[in-house]
Amino acid sequence: MRPPILFPLFAPLSSLPGVGPKIAQLLNRLIGAEVVDLLWHLPVGAVRRIWRDSLNGAVAGEVVAVTVTIEGHLPGASPRRPTRVRAMVGSTPLSLVYFNARGAWLEASLPEGGTRIVGGKLEQFQGEWQITHPDLVLTPDRAAEAQRPEVIYPLTAGLTSRLLARTVQAALAITPELPEWQDPTLLAREGWRGWRQALIAVHGPEGERDLSPHTPDRRRLAYDELLANQLALGLVREHNRRQAGRTIIGDGRLIERLASALPFALTGAQIRAIADIRADLSQPRRMLRLLQGDVGSGKTVVALHALLIAIEAGCQGALMAPTEILARQHAATLTRLLGDLPVRVVVLTGRDKGKAREALLAEIASGHANIIVGTHALIQESVSFQDLAVAVVDEQHRFGVAQRLALAQKGRGVDVLVMTATPIPRTLLMTSYGDLDASRLDEKPPGRTPIATRTVAADRLDEVVAGVARAVAGGAKVYWVCPLVEETDELDLAAAVERHSALSEALGAQGIRVALIHGRMKPTEKDAAMAAFQGSDADVLVATTVIEVGVDVPDASVMVIEHAERFGLAQLHQLRGRVGRGQAASSCLLVYSAPLSETARARLQTLRDSDDGFAIAEADLALRGAGEVLGTRQSGLPGFRVADPAAHGDLIAIARDEAALILNRDPDLTSPRAAALRVLLYLFERDAAARLLRAG
């Protein structure tokens, strides 16, 4: 139950004065539906007007506030001409210029003979001062408002900054004093004031300096959110630990045979990760471990060890992948690695129908199938396992937490290993995956060839096509990645379908075969295109980002990424990792359209300079922010409203230690401070974690 003290903050926005249905709808689209959403919508600017008693010495471009006497209204000669309101500042004339203004409204706002305070940007027109569309018109008794900085907020069409600022002030007026949840020693050390005072200060910046994420008030609010996050993760983690698990200990017979059959030696990082997993499986509590590794670091082999330990113990293992291509790729890789080991691998996807599907389901239910690889199809109600003990979820960020749990519920006390090929910066690992134990594959297997990365302007596309032709003539296979399936009015991007047609025409005369794959194709069509590229029937594969993860074609040694400036760093790194898997020297061409923004330029430079996925992930965080890097919407992870992991990294570690200390001393949050901490959890909508306290 949400504490009653928070009820005013979780009331609908329409409960605030001046917020009717239309404004509420606009605010809902911009920030959310409740009063609390306004509190987290932070300013991005503050305009301080120069208060002038006269216009002597004024400079064009100044943003001013002046007291004027209205002399008269001069409507435009035609609807396209502006209305000019003649006014005087002392003895100096000033015109107030309005386009498309209603005459009745103007006369009521600026009555002839009346005195008003007006504000806006001063301009010179035909030797006279004017302000076009003043952003401030006040009666003299409200002079104090004109001297305060005007706070600028992010907006949406139909909202003005002044209206939004006024609505935020209405929200602040009903914001209650909340019980202090922070440790007094920390507050004194950091010089932080109370939560409500900090919130009011953040929404009342005096200038640019007050907008920084590093001000004491902003850091105080960020730390509140980070502590709520770490407490929630700690509670989820403890709840998971309390769930009945099972001890899974293999006899080593399959692992030993695999070790002698593998054509390569495991890296030190792989050996450490396998040891972590073996230790987890041998405990009576459930494993919930994140295995993160850079492109090509060998996660599949580590996952196979976890699955084999389950099979040695007489149980089954499952591997869930986000796409059918990736599921079939995994099944093929596992089958190849297993060689002649007596392990039955099957694939279950949404494509399987009728008798073939029934036969697969029977194999899974009887236990004849040892490793079951599949897509979301694995969590359908009709799928039942004989005894699922270990579940591996690949590309965790593509699934919601609910899907991970649904797979775990297919067995008794299932141990879960989640994998990601997207290296996660350490700060985000703490804030978003803190409920998982983590293993990191930070070594690449021997034999991976370095990838030469170059940037090429889009106006040199003909040279790129000629280079592709030369590469294919030399025996290479080439990926060509486009961001969209078809042209749209909004984004002038090269479409995969059109690029496939253009390349087929340009290269076909030389006997070069071009295949196409994108997300809107039928599964059978995707498989056919992929098989052609993996085999000998296609030399170039034009693709959307459907090939971003997992697809393995060792002969592919050239990657062309069109409109590279449109991709995130981590995604570019993922795509680049599709080549360099064989013995041939590999290259990646980042084709960009000028002019580049500073961020895009920095992104492409980072990729040219580094092939370390973890370093790239840290750079991506600094350039784009946490929400973009994590893909929060897709992952089901809560986003941050106030905290910025890139700016508040030092606070994350403090919050993690503080949360651990709190839960160590008071795991059920029953101490005097606990009531305030529960309010904190509900304030930042970590309700699910708070409910776990009641569920036990």
Task: Using alpha carbons, list the distances in angstroms from residue 672 to 184, 253, 263, 403, 662.
Answer: 14, 55, 60, 37, 12
What is the reported pLDDT for 400? 65
What is the reported pLDDT for 432? 67
What is the reported pLDDT for 548? 52
What is the DSSP-derived secondary structure letter of residue 537? Answer: S
Helix axes 216-242, 195-202, angle to 10 degrees: 130
Of 262, 261, 611, give the one whose Cα is nearest residue 444.
611
Residue 167 to residue 642: CA distance in whole angstroms? 19
What is the reported pLDDT for 639? 66
Q: Enter the CATH code of domain 451-610.
A: 3.40.50.300
What is the reported pLDDT for 137? 92
Q: Could you report the average pLDDT of every consecutive run of 10 residues in the chain (696 residues)? A: 94 94 93 94 90 92 94 88 94 93 88 94 93 92 85 88 92 97 96 97 91 96 94 82 85 94 91 96 91 85 97 97 87 93 94 90 96 94 95 78 81 91 73 77 77 93 94 93 60 69 92 88 83 91 72 86 87 86 88 88 90 80 56 46 86 92 90 92 82 53
| Same fold yes or no, 289-441 and 451-610 | yes
Q: Looking at domain 289-441, does it have CATH number 3.40.640.10?
A: no
Report strand pairing: 136-138 vs 115-125: antiparallel
φ/ψ of residue 85, rounded to 5: -100, 115
What is the reported pLDDT for 637? 42
Tokens 């001046």 correspond to what residue?
A: 18
Of 221, 227, 176, give the one whose Cα is nearest residue 678.
227
Of 308, 512, 299, give the one whose Cα is nearest residue 419.
299
What is the reported pLDDT for 170? 96
* Distant-in-sequence, close-in-space partners of 74: CB < 8 Å, separation ≥ 6: 83, 84, 85, 86
CATH class of 65-137: mainly beta
Residue 424 to residue 203: CA distance in whole angstroms? 32
φ/ψ of residue 480, rounded to 5: -130, 110
What is the reported pLDDT for 343? 96
Domains in the chain: boundaries? 4-45+168-211, 65-137, 289-441, 451-610
What is the reported pLDDT for 628? 46
